[in-house]
Amino acid sequence: MLFPNPLPRPGNVTIKTLRVMKITAFLLTVISLHAAAGGHSQTITISTKNAPLEKIFAEIKKQTGYEFVYRWELLQNTKPVDIDVKNATVKQVLDFCLKDQPLDYKILDNLIVLNEKAEPKDVRPPPLPLTDITGKVTDSEGNPLAGASIKVKGTNNGATTNEKGEFTIIGVDENATLIITSVSHETQEIKLNGRKDITVQLKIKITELGIVSVTVNTGYQHIPKVQATGSFNHIDNELLNRRVSTNILDRIENLTPGVLFNRGEAANTDTLLIRGRSTIFANAQPLIVVDNFPYDGNLSNINPNDMESITILKDAAAASIWGARAGNGVIIITTKKGKTSKTRVELNSSITWQQKPDLFNVNQISSSDFIDLEKKLYSLGYYNGAITSPSHQPLTPVVDLLVAKTNGSVPAAQADALIEALKQYDSRNELQKYFYQLGVNQQHAISASGNTEHINYYMGIGYDRNLSTKVGQQYDRISIRSQNTFKITRKLELTVGLNHIQSIEKNGNNPGYNYYSNAGKFYYPYTQFADEAGRPLPIYLHYRRGWVDTVGSGKLLNWLYYPISEINNTISKTKIRNNMINAGINYKIMNSLSVDLKYNYQNQVSTLNDEYKDLSYFSRNLINNFTQIGAGGVLSYPIPRGGILDLFNSEITSHQGRAQANYSQAWGTRHQLAAIAGYEIRSVITNGNRNRLYGYNPALSSVNPNINYTTVYPQYGTPGATAQIATNQSISKKTDHFISYYANAAYTYNSRYILSASARMDEANLFGVKTNQKGTPLWSAGASWLLHKEDFYKSGLFPFLRLRVTYGYNGNISRSTSAYTTASYNISTITSAPTATIQNPPNEKLRWEKVGIINFGIDFELKNKIVSGSIEYYNKKATDLMGQAPVDPTLGLSQNFGGSYFFGNVASMKGNGVEIELNSRNLNRSVKWYTTFLFSYSSSKVTEYLMPLSSAGSTYLSTIGINPIIGKPVFALYSFRWRGLDPATGDPQGYLNGNTSKDYTGIYSATKIDSMIYNGPVQSPYFGALRNTINIKNWSLSINISYKLGYYFRKNKFSYNTIFSSWNGSGDYAQRWQKPGDEKTTNIPSMPGYPFTNLIARDQFFQYAEINVLKGDNIRLEDISLSYDLDKNQWVKMPFSHVRLYLYIANLGTLWIANKEKIDPYYDYNNGPRERKRISLGLNISF
Amino acid sequence: MKKYIYKHRLIAIVLIIFYGCKKSSFLETRPDDSLVVPTSLKDLQAILDNDAIMNGNASGVGLMPNSGEISYNSYYVNDANFGGVLTPLEQKLYKWDKQPFTGEPNILDWDLPYRSVFYSNVVLDGLKKITPEASQQSEFNNIYYSALFYRAHIFYQLAQIFAPVYASETASTDWGIPLRLTADVNEEIRRSTVAETYSKIIEDLKSCAGELTTNPLYKTRPSKQAACALLARVYLSMRNYDSAFVYADKSLQLYNKLVDYNILMVTNTNFPFLNIRFNDEVIFHCLLRECLPLRLGAAIVDNTIYNSYNNNDLRKADKNNDLLKGAFYRFISNTYSFRGSYYGSVQLFSGLATDELYLIRAECFARKNSTSQALSDLNALLIKRWRNTVQYTQVTATDAADALNKILEERKRELMFRGLFWTDLRRLNKEGRNISFTRTVLGQTYTLPPNDLRYTFPIPDNVINFNPGMPQNPRQ
């Protein structure tokens, strides 16, 4: 009888039960042997080789009389036997013959019953000694792999890796085998062989998308992208470092679909938008999170070298974990951590040069045109008002000379010659020379990092120094970051991070081209800024030359304005110091359950000092204006002589805490659940104050505190005008308090069906009402299906195919109103009494804005990854938007200049969009060529808004003001219908009440919105990029081309009034209508007849006519990046492990512009100077 | 197991630390320290002290309705300025259009005064929720009666524009103005009758006259003498001259200072009253809504009025004599523009001042046939306007009627651009003085006959739209 051989292993806890079983088995066997022995007692002698069992059975039957009973097929898998025995018992023979056969036997009387050999099911091998093991799972590049499932083979015991790729399993046989599975990676089995700490590297499943290996950081957890149902975009470190910039956000432009950076005129609406606008009056900026917490400081403080990657959360499922602040999308910036067990030191250094901007992009009236125009206007008497005005209005040099010529103080011929000579000057030459320079930006960073059994550390220092293209502008930044995780026990981890940033931005008084004096004058086209020797010249843009040269007969301060000297006479210095501390504890309670406690402290102090030196025009002008002439001509100075110092201080202090439980468990091979739940508290306090000090003397660090702020003084410069001395003092304090609860779960079945759900409740101190009305619950749900894993899925074309759908709500906060009557305090400037202004009437029904988003996504990959990508479609509905609703003015809620409305949840918007990202491997041999194509479509429109349409269409002409119209985007461009120039006079013509009209005032004020032209959106609805990367050996070249389509902008606004009264303007003047017939070739109106009757209205009508709205569509060569990489294994003698040299060129201009005038919409606003190429050289070394 | 309990306790402790501060107070912290939910007496006083809204001090805005002042003919604009300076609304008012407000989105003459009413009502509603301690009682009372005063003042001003002139025989059937008495935005809005309007104004002012202080901290705050002065003005507009006399007299007994214009520092370019902004004559300060023609100096003072000043009158400017710079007028290229606002700027003072009270009391004396008392009030005022280097010539009158006429003429000279004459016109024509006006714009002549329906302006269209069924004022 076969007997399981008990293995004599000591110390076995279950030995008692085993013993019982063994006795029972023994007794049973003895009984059966007895029975057998009763019938036959003969022995067998047999000798044969290679005999089938049948033959042996026959021999046994012959010699002993035992009958064999078995099913025939049982012998199918048996082997022939060699046997040579003499006088052996039946049992001995059978035992020998069946030893290695899949057969068992029983002897029942004279029958031998053959059966399949039974597995020893009931009897387990004695358990091995159990132990707790920990480990780490990484991808093939050593990056931690979160969400991988680890199972002990043959048991239900197991765990899932956390965001650091780590896991712990309690109670494992030290010889057990672990099965490690991850949705995106090959399954691997590992035998422990007594090890208690293992590291497993998983290989990416060949068939799957590159992106699936990515884990996305939601700020609350890291989830493998392939398991995420929502819409995430990930920008990895390589992509993040593709561009050279001081500011981190600059680096994500044109790299990911759905994120729009507006440029040119559109940048005045929103600089950055994720998936279009879904609010009207509230902030439309995305929430920015660094690691785990919203970043409250100045974003330009973040050193990009310390950052690992960026994740953009776009739909409800992705972002709803951020609740009431996620309505505009969320940008998560993840900092660098230690990766390798050996200390890795990395050095990155780059220098960027930027050429002076191109001032000749400015379409400026030529000096000769302008001087001729001045002569004409002078002869018409246009300047008479200014010449005789008591307020010493300034005149240009030409007009000054013309006056002198008229009154004979300069001989006529000489005056004419001087005037003619001025025609040769072009202000842009000297502006470019004295006000602009080659911009040089330096960036240096060094870091050391590592990841050992006990500590994960990162330490980085960065230094930036930028010299702008404008003379006098400089920016310096130092950042120090340290982030360490101490693995105290296998269950307990402690994280401590410190970050210190200090930056100083210095600006001289250099407005560059765009100077506009407080008398409303620009630099005239022939302005000279310096004499031949380069000495600064004064310019008379504020007061009349003759007056300002002699005023006060030497008693006043010099009242001249020298633009070049002014650059250094006013220094504006912004100093920002930002300190961040974060601390965290992670404690593992069970394999599947851990708890995180996190705390984040941020303190940003910024000091802005505007120092107007005693020599600055600002100080001199203010002092002179307040100077009083007393009895006997004695002067007194209410504003003391000296400099003026404006101080603005602000401080942001935030404390944020979080307690979070993480649960992750797998059952069998099919079920996996990952969930988090947490509580968060957040307090952000912003303090600010400003002050102005007079009589500032930096050498002595002294000021003059004896200022009379109450007396009203007549102004020396402007007869009749009076003013008090400005105190410029204010103080403010703002507090944001939030308490939030959140939970999020994802369930994966059979690693192909994924369901996710998320809910969050936010409460804030926003509305000043009862606590139970402060909160807003927001939720989302999503599903994802990895279609290619199905058995029925046979497509060889798409080895990877995933479908996703999510739905849910994000919120948005508007601080524009409150549920209770609130009032803001101030001080009356007249009586000095404290005054309270009612900000809003009570509105108890106030709610937070809500954005519902449904998102469909498909991710796919062609065979061999030739093409991979994803397509997403979304639909948004924003409700409860804060908006104005008109009310009866009798209620008393009117504004100072009209409009009686209250703010409430009265508006709605909807929007939809498509985002496509395609990656292709065009060549993948020794030469590699990859292409990435991005396309985004995003449109939104107002669907509900209660304010009535203004009866004047002109209300809607502003491209940046918010005047919502139902059915249109928040920022929409409207214009007047254009009827062409009057062939007889060259006057612009429009329509009024359907008829051709030159009643410009009437057109401007009485054209209804439905009679105006809707040109289209100000923000581009179609945009994207095409990026080609070619790798040849160690070289890599990447070229990015971007495009923006389907939007409009208003071209440079030609205006006669601007040219006449501001002394400069559009060069379109040269194209003006001058004689009948010109209307066929130009749209620029004729010079109006003098005296001007309707000058401003005529200009305005023309500026806002449809012909001046141009298509913004453009394709541009964004940048080129070239790099050379050298690895130690390629050059063993190299002292570094890796070296990278890179060249980066940006601002390369447009490839195509849709509008006929070929005006680049990025620079047209004010027709300003065009930025030119930026070239960076860099070096990256790691040890 | 024990271990697990211990761990959970740890979590619990940490959570309690996070909750450290009490949740409700954490969430009730004010989001902006300059923002309050007004509940204290200090807050309510600060609301009333908001002189930009309660007195119209906001630059470029003002408060009291100016439609009447723009329509009154103490000035004219030339054709160029008519098209170039006046807003479309001002043009329509200038020409006495039948429907001046049509097409105007907001009628600030209605909106801004009602905003001030809302402020008063917020204060009055807020006071209901405060039980003052004994030590606060007088402060509490002063805030309460101040709010009543501001509101009554606005009601009176609105009634001069949007309700017909008070006539005892029709007052109970004529439509007055909506009397908003709470801040509740859900309360129904309806027009009261003229009788109701005036009786509410008088009732509130009488209680103010009994309770307010005689010594307000600022002249933007009401006082006992201001309440009496306003009552005098209200009764005058109702042609109840006996009561007008009583309150003018009462007010002057409380406070009767006048400013001697000889002390003014007048140059060609300044505003003479700038340095004495809240001068001794001012009882209660407020400003008229700003209008472009006056702000830009496009309004040329009517020659008849200008010529009616004596050459030794300090209010008059003389282009021929540089020494004689006028307190009220500035000479610019052959025309005269007004600069005599007691606020010392282009913003027009329309508050209560003692000079007006002297004239009211003088008028009431004259109407009571007390000619000498009437003349003595008149002369008491005028001597302060007389150049002190020249002997003052006493005004005399042949009888009470003559005195009355002279006093009414003097009103026109003294109370220029204070927003008072529209009311004068309405009441004087009501008693048969038969004053009519003509204006010529771009060659076309417009006439406003006495007692015309156009003396009452229409209720703004949007108000009617929000309150269908609200009766509109007939204009033709």
Give this prediction's pTM. 0.76
Scan for tokens 């003379």, then name that residue.
A471
Question: Rounded to a whole number, what is the distance in angstroms from the first to the last CA of chain A?
Answer: 69
More confidently predicted of A147 and A836: A836
Beta strands A287-290 and A330-335, pairing class: parallel
- pLDDT range class, residue B1, cuts 50, 70, 90: very low
State how far Cα A1157 lies from the chain centre. Answer: 34
How far away is chain A from the Cα of B440, in angstroms, using its nearest Cα? 21
Which chain A residue lies closest to B47 (C-alpha atoms)?
A: A836
Tell me the C-alpha distance between B307 and B315, whole Å: 12
Chain A residues lying within 8 Å of B51, measured CB to CB: 828, 830-831, 833, 835
Contact B43 A893 (CB under 8 A): no
Q: Can you give the pLDDT at residue B5?
A: 47
Least confident of A100-109, A554-563, A1103-1112, B52-61: A100-109
Distance from CA of B108 to the nearest CA of A (A): 6
If pLDDT is split at 50, 70 and 90, which confidence band does A123 have? very low
Percent of chain B surpassing pLDDT 90: 65
Is the CB of A889 less than 8 angstroms away from the CB of B50? no
What is the nearest CA distance from B91 to chain A, expressed in angstroms?
A: 14
Could A890 and B4 be called an inter-chain contact, meaning their C-beta atoms sit closer than 8 Å? no
What pLDDT does A3 receive?
43
Residues of A in contact with B110 (CB under 8 A): 889-890
Give the H or E element holding residue A182.
strand A177-182
State CA A1007 to chain mean position distance: 41
CA gap B299, A1104 in Å, rounded: 33
End-to-end CA distance of chain B: 93
pLDDT for A541-562, tens place per residue? 888 888 888 777 778 888 999 9
**pLDDT per residue as tens digits for the range B429-474:** 999 999 999 999 989 999 999 999 999 999 998 899 888 889 999 9
The partner residue sitting opposite B46, judged by closest CB among A764, A834, A890, is A834
Measure the CA–CA gap between A408 and A403, rounded to whole angstroms.
8
Short-list B189, B400, B78, B450, CA closest to A890: B189
Query: Tens of pLDDT along B109-121?
Result: 999 999 999 999 9
Measured between CB atoms, which of B34, B103, B111 is closest to A732?
B34
The answer to whether A932 and A919 are in contact (CB under 8 A) is yes
For residues A418 and A415, give the distance between their C-alpha atoms in angstroms, rounded to a whole number. 5
- Measured CA to CA, the distance from residue A378 to residue A1090 in angstroms comes to 11
pLDDT for res A34: 42
Average pLDDT over residues A962-970: 88
Mean pLDDT of A171-179: 80
Could you tell me which chain B residue has the CA closest to the CA of A950? B105
Q: Which tens digits make up the pLDDT trace of A910-943? A: 999 999 999 999 988 889 999 999 999 999 999 9
Chain B nearest CA to A442, separation (Å): 40
Choose among B14, B18, B463: nearest Cβ to A889: B463
What lies within 8 Å, CB to CB, of A891 at 6+ separation is A841, A900, B114, B118, B180, B185, B189
| Least CB–CB distance from B49: residue in A595, A821, A828 | A828
Name the token pair of A555: 């008693």
Q: How far is B121 from chain A (nearest CA, A)?
A: 10
Q: Which chain B positions have a beta carbon within 8 Å of A821's beta carbon?
A: 37-38, 122, 183
Task: For residue B344, list chain A residues with Cβ-Cβ distance below 8 A.
Answer: 712
List the single residue in A390, A831, A892 with the smallest CB-CB distance to B115: A892
Q: E strands of B229-341, at which residues?
A: 282-284, 300-301, 329-332, 335-338
Name the DSSP letter for residue A436: B
Longest dimension (CA), chain B: 114
Distance from C-alpha of A294 to C-alpha of A326, rounded to nearest angstrom? 11
Strand A197-201, strand A130-138: pairing: parallel
| pLDDT score at A896 | 79
Nearest CA in chain B to A843: B185
- The ipTM, to two decimals, is 0.89
- As a whole number, the mean pLDDT across chain B is 89
**Residue A858 — pLDDT band, cuts 50, 70, 90?**
very high
Q: Which two three-digit tokens encode residue A217?
A: 């950081």
Q: Report the b/e string of A370-386 with b at 16+ CB within 10 A.
A: bbebbbebbeeebbeee
B226 pLDDT band, cuts 50/70/90, is very high
Where does residue B95 fall: left (phi above 0), alpha (psi -120 to 50 degrees), or beta otherwise? alpha
| Contact yes or no for B46 and A766 at CB 8 A | no
CB contacts < 8 Å between A and B, how many? 216
Cross-chain Cβ contact B51/A830 below 8 Å: yes
Chain B residues within an 8 Å CB radius of A814: none
Q: Does A890 sit within 8 Å of B110, measured CB to CB?
A: yes
Task: Map tokens 């649960």 to a residue.
Answer: A663
* Closest Cβ opposite residue B46 in set A390, A657, A836: A836
Domains of chain B, residue spans: 8-262+351-466
Residue of A nearest to B269 (CA): A720
Strands A259-261, A330-335: pairing kind = unpaired
Give the SS3 label for residue B268: coil
Contacts of A13 (CB under 8 A, 6+ apart): A127
Residue A816: what pLDDT?
A: 66
Inspect the interface and report whether the beta carbons of B27 and A774 lie closer than 8 Å: yes
Positive or negative, the CA dihedral A404, A410, A412, A415 is negative
* 8 A C-beta contact, residue A916 and residue A973: no
Chain segment A531-545, per-residue pLDDT in tens = 989 899 999 888 888
Mean pLDDT value across residues A682-692: 93
* Nearest Cβ partner for B34 among A681, A825, A891: A825
Sequence length of chain B is: 476
Mean of pLDDT values over B75-90 = 84
Of B26, B37, B116, the CB nearest to A820: B37
Three-class SS state of A781: strand
CB contact under 8 A, A897 and B108: yes
Query: How would residue A773 be classed by pLDDT, with cut points 50, 70 and 90?
Result: low
Tell me which of A150 and A680 has the higher pLDDT.
A680
Q: How far is B453 from chain A (nearest CA, A)?
A: 23
Contact A742, A761 (CB under 8 A): yes
Q: Read off the pLDDT band of A1171 (50, 70, 90).
A: confident
Res. A20 pLDDT band, cuts 50 70 90: very low
- Which chain A residues have a beta carbon less than 8 Å from that of B121? 892
Cα–Cα dist B329/B319, whole Å: 10
pLDDT per position as a tens digit, A558-596 = 899 999 999 999 999 999 999 999 999 999 998 889 999
Chain A nearest C-alpha distance from B205 (Å): 21
Residue B385 contacts residue B261 (beta carbons within 8 Å): yes
* Closest Cβ–Cβ partner in B42, B49, B118 for A893: B118
> Which of B33, B51, B58 is the closest to A732 by Cβ?
B33
Contacts of A390 in chain B (CB under 8 A): 269
Angle between helices B241-254 and B224-237 (to 10 degrees): 160
Contact A681 B26 (CB under 8 A): yes
> To which residue do tokens 């918007």 refer?
A909
The CATH class of the B8-262+351-466 domain is mainly alpha
**Chain B residues closer than 8 Å to A736 by CB:** 31
Mean pLDDT along residues B77-95 = 86
Contact between chains at A838 and B47 (C-beta distance less than 8 A)? yes
- Per residue in A301-347, pLDDT tens? 889 999 999 999 998 888 888 888 888 999 999 999 888 888 899 99
Helices (H), A530-616: 545-550, 563-569
What is the average pLDDT score of chain A? Answer: 85
Residue B20 reports pLDDT greater than 70: no
Contacts of B144 (CB under 8 A, 6+ apart): B124, B127, B211
Q: Give the minimum alpha-carbon distance from B471 to chain A in angstroms, rounded to a whole number.
A: 15
Distance from CA of A772 to the nearest CA of B (A): 9
Contacts B28 to A, Cβ<8 Å: 765, 768, 771
Checking if the pLDDT of B3 tops 60, the result is no
With CB atoms and an 8 Å threshold, state whether A892 touches B52. Answer: no
More confident residue, A602 or A196: A602
pLDDT at A1164: 64
Q: How far is CA B349 from the centre of its chain?
A: 8
